[in-house]
Structures are given as structure tokens and as C-alpha cells.
Structure 1
Amino acid sequence: MIDKSSPIPLYHQIEEVIKQGIEHGEYQPGDVLPAERVYAEQYQVSRMTVRQAITNLVNERYLYRIKGKGTFIAEPKLEQNLKGLTSFTEDMSARGMKASSKISKFDIIPANRSLAEQLNVDMHTPIYEIKRVRLAEEIPMALERTYIPANLIKGLSEERVLSSIYKYAEEQMGLKIKSATQTLEATIANKEEIKLLEVDQGGAPVLLMKRTSKLENGQTFEIVKSSYRADRYKFMIDLER
């Protein structure tokens, strides 16, 4: 309900009404939001007030507009806590979501200078190069490029990659993945990301995460470069003082 005697601005109250409708399931992702005049008549406020509320929700990614068609309910963003070291499969499983992958490349290549330095191996060492589109409930979420020394995890196959590299490495190969260093930055989707992540052409934002994981003995296990859809994913970190 809207309280016109409240010091809280009317547009903000309408924002909260729409947010609650989304959070309580009254609106589903992809649904068309009722027209501005519907809210204006229902709450006896100006359409300008309603427009301000809707614009704010578009900016916050609760809604999105399609020119000539209307305003729609956006897909909720998946939230990943950066505090722990988990795989994509483990993250999705913790949310009760089905994780899956599509492999766009699976090959063994000789390490160039850059890969050799990052993985702490000799030049020309055989390296797995794996490109996967990571999906949650069949929706593309990230393009993941993984590089692992082939002598560390022998017998890796496309079938095992489609399941979980971490699970195979730890349960079948007896490796202990202990720690990782990762960076996160915002960038614009390139042609490969636009195609595989099914995002709009011309400036779609992605979150680029680069991670270097190490085994219990200090040996570098992998380098992963992941491009996450910024419209579907967000990261969270807990800070303490």
C-alpha cells in the first residue's frame, strides 16, 4: 500500500510495491509489467511518479525495457560469494539449481611463454586447453577458459570435463586443491562471448574473473579465465574489521 502521509517519497514506495511483487512471485521473469497508468490509477499518483519508480528499477536491473513492446521483469541475478574456493557445479548445487556445460574446445597444446610462466612449467609442456559454456537451468551464465598441465591430471576427457574437473581431480586423482588467487574486472563482451553467452551485440557488459589455483604442495594446478554475464551474475564478499 501507498502512504501519502509518509515522509518516504511516493516513487520509492511504488518501487517497493513492485519489488515485493517480484520477490513474492506475483511477477515472473519475462512477464510484462502493467502500464504506468495502471499504477497511477490504483494509487492515485501521477504517471511521472510511476515513471520515476520504474526507471529506478530498470537502473537496478529488476526490470528491462524493449522499445515498442514495454517493460519486462528481469531474470534474478545469481550471487556468488568470493570468500570460498568452489567450482561452478558446487555453486549451482548449493542453490538447488542444475549446472551443465557445453564444450566449445578440448585440446592439448604446448605451453607458450605466457602459459609456462603462469603455470610455472617449462616451455612446450603439454597443457589442457578447455573452453566451456557454463549453464544454470540451461541458461548460459559464463564462458570459462581453463588451462591445466596435462601431466597433473592424466586421463581427463570431455565426459569428465562435462561433470566436474575438481571432482575428478580430487576424488579420482587424489589431488588436493587448496587455494587460489583471483581478480575481477568489468569489461565488454567480445565476439566469442556475444555468440556463446547469447548476449546483445554492441557493448554487453561481462565480469571477467581470472583465477590461479594451487595444490596443497604449492604447485599451480590451473589458470581459469571466466567471463560472466553481468545481467545474470553478481559477486559478493564478506568484509570484517
Structure 2
Amino acid sequence: MLQIDKQSPLPIYYQIEAYLKQQIDAGELQPGESIPSEREFSERYNVSRMTVRQAITNLVNAGYLSRQKGRGTFVANKKITMALSGLTSFSEEIKHRGMRPFSRLLSFQTISAPAKIAQKLSVALDTPVYEMRRLRLADENVLALETAYIPVALLPNLTETDAVGSIYEFAEQSGLRLKNATQTLEARSSGPEEAKLLTISPNAPVLLIDQRTYLENGDMFEYSRSLFRGDAYSFTVAMERT
């Protein structure tokens, strides 16, 4: 039971935040379980709703809670930890963790590569490329928003149906051999449309990953930009002193 000490030097919002965090860490609040509304907290402990909102917002931003529009606030699912080593697809990583991967195709079209994309893919200006925008899910939970570009000449038979599954698997079944990739990571806040698609609060933390994937012959296979939910993902990197 939460005991709020209004004489404590610790702010009231921090006391509420620490109590909920302890409940989650101890397993007394399980992933997917709802917590009392701001109004209920406010009335039960005789504190302002603004104070309660600050505590809950801090826990949402830290990945402990998630807000669902029209439904309430729930204990967030545990983060998926991925190692930034080895070239694996999203689908392969999710399957490896015993979950079901799924892609929701938002758009699929062939475009003439504009200057920026042509440069990223190391192809000539106006080269035909696929542009695919997908939501990446695991067990029906939205984890990432991805936009990918692939030269049409590499996979001339790629269809929307293929784009719902693993592009890497389709490429290898088509005879291409993937070798390596380079990634650039950047932390930032989500924009309004991104937040809506990722089902997170506006300005919530996300991790942007720019990736270039190469074939064995050294040609660029794909350029992609993926936004990963900060409350759903963490990454580890193994390093050696040289």
C-alpha cells in the first residue's frame, strides 16, 4: 500500500513513481495489467492529478508503462534486447526469442530514386527502386516503423505479398547472398505521425537506425531507416580492446 509522506523532501510525484516501479519490478503488477486512472490516484491519496500525471508520464518515458488511447495506462511488456552483431533480419530476431513476427505494410511502390536515396544506395539518379514502409510487430505488439529502399533490378519479381514477410529470406531464396551491413544509431523524440503509428505518446523516445546492407559482391542491397520504440527495445554491443 502506497504511503505518501507529504513532509518528505522527496517530491510526491517521485514517491508515486517509486511505488509503481517497485510494484512492477517485484512482479506485483504484470505486463498488460492496467493501473488506476489519474483521477482514482488523485482521489485515493488526496494529491493533484497533475502530480499523478507527472509520475505516470515519467514511467511511460522510462518504458515501465504504456498509454493506450481510450483505454487507459498499462504495465508495458518487457524490453526486447538485441545484440548489434551479426546480420539478421527483424523476423529472424523475433522468431529467435519465441515470438511471432509480423509486418503491416503501410505503402509499397516503385519510385525513381531521388538524389538522397540514390546516394545512399550508390546508384544513379532516377534508378527504379522499391520504397516500402512497414510497421514491424512481435506477437501483435508494434515495435518499429521502417522505411526501406531496394533497387528493382535486384529483385524484379518482388510483390506486396513478399514485402509482408522477411525481405532477407526472399532475397536469399531468389539467389542473392547477403554479407554485411553498417548501422548508424541516433536517439530522438517521435513526431506526431510516428507516435500514432507506433502507439506511443507524442515526443516519446525512439531510436533511429540507418542501415546499409551489402551483397557478397560488394553491391548495396538495401538502405533502410527504422524507428524503434524506446520502451520496447534495448541494444547491446560486444567490444574488444585492440
| TM-score, normalized by the shorter chain, greater than 0.5 | yes
Change (3 A) 1:72 1:144: closer
Deviation at 1:30, TM superposition (A): 3.2
Deviation at 1:61, TM superposition (A): 3.8
Q: Deviations along 1:172-225, whole A, 9 cap, x unmatched?
A: x11111011101111111232122111112x11110000001000000000010
Taking the aligned partners of 1:20 and 1:181, their CA distance within structure 2 comes to 35
Q: 1:21 aligns with which of 11, 20, 26?
A: 26
Q: Which residue of 2 aligns with 1:193?
A: 194
Deviation at 1:27, TM superposition (A): 3.5
Unaligned runs of 5+ in 1: 1-10, 35-53
1:219 pairs with 2:224? no
The question of whether the paired residues in 1 share the 8 Å contact of 2:67 and 2:200 is answered with no
Q: Which residue of 1 aligns with 2:180?
A: 179
Q: Which residue of 2 aligns with 1:208?
A: 208
Secondary structure at 1:151 match in 2:
helix
Change (3 A) 1:198 1:19: closer
1:101 pairs with 2:106? no
Trace 1:109-120 onto structure 2 (pairs within 5 A). Answer: 109-120=111-122
Instruction: Give the residue type in structure 2 aligned to 1:178.
Output: K
Deviation at 1:110, TM superposition (A): 0.2
Question: Percentage identity across aligned positions?
Answer: 43
Instruction: Give the residue type in structure 2 aligned to 1:185.
Output: E
Taking the aligned partners of 1:33 and 1:187, their CA distance within structure 2 comes to 28
Q: Which residue of 2 aligns with 1:3?
A: none
1:142 pairs with 2:147? no
Change (3 A) 1:113 1:71: closer
Deviation at 1:112, TM superposition (A): 1.2
Trace 1:1-241 onto structure 2 (pairs within 5 A). Answer: 18=23, 21-22=26-27, 27-31=29-33, 58=59, 61-62=63-64, 73-171=75-173, 173-201=174-202, 203-241=203-241
Unaligned runs of 5+ in 2: 1-14, 37-54
The question of whether the paired residues in 1 share the 8 Å contact of 2:147 and 2:224 is answered with yes
TM-score, structure 1 length as denominator? 0.75
Q: Which residue of 1 aligns with 2:45?
A: none
Change (3 A) 1:189 1:63: closer
After TM superposition, where is structure 1 displaced by more than 2 Å over at least 4 residues in a row?
14-22, 30-34, 57-66, 70-74
Secondary structure at 1:128 match in 2:
strand
Secondary structure at 2:85 match in 1:
coil
Taking the aligned partners of 1:72 and 1:145, their CA distance within structure 2 comes to 29
TM-score, structure 2 length as denominator? 0.75
Taking the aligned partners of 2:196 and 2:97, their CA distance within structure 1 comes to 27
Taking the aligned partners of 2:117 and 2:84, their CA distance within structure 1 comes to 25
Instruction: Give the residue type in structure 2 aligned to 1:212.
Output: R
Q: Which residue of 2 aligns with 1:39?
A: none
Change (3 A) 1:99 1:60: same
Structure 1 range deviating more: 70-79 or 157-166 = 70-79
Change (3 A) 1:219 1:208: same
Change (3 A) 1:17 1:129: closer
Instruction: Give the residue type in structure 1 aligned to 2:116.
Output: S
Taking the aligned partners of 2:206 and 2:214, their CA distance within structure 1 comes to 26
Change (3 A) 1:124 1:65: closer
